Structure 1
Amino acid sequence: MTDWLFELLAAYGVPVLALTTFASCLALPVPASLAMLTAGAFVATGDLALAPVAGSAFAGALLGDQAGYALGKRGGTWLDTSLAQRPKRERLFTRARDFTQRRGGPGIFLTRWLFSPLGPYANLAAGAGRLNWLKFTLWGAAGEAAWVGLYVGLGLTFSDDLALGAQVASQGLGFLAALGVTVFLGLWLLRAARRNRTP
C-alpha cells in the first residue's frame, strides 16, 4: 500500500496528501507521516512547492479532526456499541477519552503529533464528551501545525535518505514522549508527597 500511495503522491501531489492526512485523522490505516516526509523530499527536489504541500497536509488533517469530532458528538452511543466489538480500538478510544478529559486542550494538542496513535480517538472522544468546539479546534490546529511542520521539515532535511528521516522522527518523538511521562510522574509524586505532609 505504501508504494502505491507514494506513486499517487508523485503523480497527483497535494490532493493525495490532503486525502491521506484527512483519512489518518479518522483512524484509517494510511501512512500519513511517511506521505508528508516524502512530500517534503519532493519539495527539496523541486517537484512540489512548499506552501501547497504544507497547506494541503494541514487542511486535510484539520478537516479530518472536525469530521471525527462531529462523529463523536452525534454518535456517542453507537461508538460505544461499535467499539465494544473491537477490543484493540476500544482500548485506544478509552485511553484517548481519559487523556482528553484529564488534559482538555493540551491533551488534544499532544495527540496531534506526540501521541498521534490516540489522535483519531481523541477526536471522537472530544465530540462525545462535548469538549468546547472552539477549544478543540484551536488546540487541534496548533497540534496539526506541529505535526505537518515536523514531517514536511524532516522530508526537506533528509530528502536524500528518507529512512533516516523516519528514524529520527520516531526516536525523537519517543524521547519526547518518555520525557513527558517522566515529568508527569515526577509532578504527580511531588503532589502526593505534599498531600501526605499536610496534617
Structure 2
Amino acid sequence: MTDTILALIPSYGLWVIFFTVELACLAIPLPASMLVVASGSFAASGDIDLYSAMAAALVGYLIGDQTAFRAARLAGVPLIEHFRASARTRRLIARTESLLEKRGILAILLSRTILSPLGPWMSYLCGAIGVKWHAFTLASLAGATLWVAAYCLMGYYFADRIYELATLTSNGIGFLLAFATAIMAALWLRSSWRRYSLQQTDDAEALPVHSSQERPKDHADPV
C-alpha cells in the first residue's frame, strides 16, 4: 500500500488526501492523521501547496462527517446496534455516548480534536439519536477546521524539528504525543517518497538514448 501512495502523491496528492480523510471519517481504518501531517511536510519542501492540501483535507473531512451523519439518520439506532456487534467498536461507542451525555454539543468539537479517534462514531451516533443537523454541522466544521490546521501546520513547521516536539511531549501534554508519532511517520513517508523519486529518475537516465543524428555505419546515405 505504501508503494501505491508514493506513486500517487506526485500526480494525485490532493485527491489522495481528500479520499483518505473522507473514508477515515466513515470509520474505515486509513492513516488520515499521518497523511495530513505528511501533506504539511510535503508543502514545506515545495512538493504541494499548503493551502490546497488543507482545503482537500477539510472538504474530505466535512463530506465524510455528513455522509456518516446522514447514513445514521436514515438507518437509525439499528445501525448503532450493528456496530456494537464488534467488541472494539462497542467500547468506542460506549465512550462516545458517555462523552455526548456529559458534554453535549461540545462533545462533537472534542471528538474532532483531542479525542479524534471517537470522531466517526460521534457522527454516526448524532445522526442515529436525532441531534439537530445545524448544531452538528457547526460543531463539526469548527472541530474539523482545528484538526486540519493543527495537523497540517505541525507537519509544515515541525517535521524537521522532531526532537524539540518530543521535549514538549515530555511535559505531560498527552495529545501532542499523537502529533509527534504522526510527524515521525510523515518524516518516514517523505524520505521514502524522495528515494522513490530518485529511483524513478535514475531508471529514466539509465535508458539508452539514441540521437536523431546517428545513422547506421554499414549503410550509405541515399544519393
Contact 1:21–1:32 (CA under 8 A) maintained in structure 2:
yes
Q: CA deviation at 1:81?
A: 3.8
Deviations 1:66-117 (A, max 9, x none): 0111111111243144223211112211221232243222100010021011
Determine the structure 2 residue equivalent to 1:24. Answer: 24
Determine the structure 1 residue equivalent to 2:9. Answer: 9
Q: Which amino acid aligns with 2:45?
A: T
Count of residue correspondences: 177
Against the structure 1 CA distance between its residues 41 and 172, is the aligned structure 2 distance closer, same or farther, given a 3 Å change threshold?
Answer: farther
Counterparts of 1:167 and 1:10, CA distance in 2: 33
Q: CA deviation at 1:48?
A: 0.7
Contact 1:36–1:151 (CA under 8 A) maintained in structure 2:
yes
TM-score (norm 2): 0.70
Query: Once structures 1 and 2 are overlaid, which stretch shifts more, 94-103 or 115-124?
Result: 94-103
Percent identity between the two aligned chains: 35
Counterparts of 1:61 and 1:142, CA distance in 2: 11
Determine the structure 1 residue equivalent to 2:127. Answer: 127
Determine the structure 2 residue equivalent to 1:84. Answer: 84
Structure 1 gaps of 5+ residues are 178-199
Determine the structure 1 residue equivalent to 2:103. Answer: 103
Determine the structure 2 residue equivalent to 1:52. Answer: 52
Counterparts of 1:26 and 1:170, CA distance in 2: 33
Larger radius of gyration: 2
Root mean square deviation of aligned Cα: 2.8
Counterparts of 1:164 and 1:4, CA distance in 2: 32
Q: CA deviation at 1:60?
A: 0.2
Q: Which amino acid aligns with 1:59?
A: V
Counterparts of 1:43 and 1:49, CA distance in 2: 5
Structure 2 gaps of 5+ residues are 178-223
Q: CA deviation at 1:176?
A: 7.7
Q: How does 1:57-76 map to 2 (within 5 A)?
A: 57-76=57-76
Counterparts of 1:142 and 1:85, CA distance in 2: 31
Contact 1:114–1:176 (CA under 8 A) maintained in structure 2:
no
Structure in which a larger fraction of residues adopt helix: 1
TM-score (norm 1): 0.78
Determine the structure 2 residue equivalent to 1:146. Answer: 146
Deviations 1:154-186 (A, max 9, x none): 110123367986997898762589xxxxxxxxx
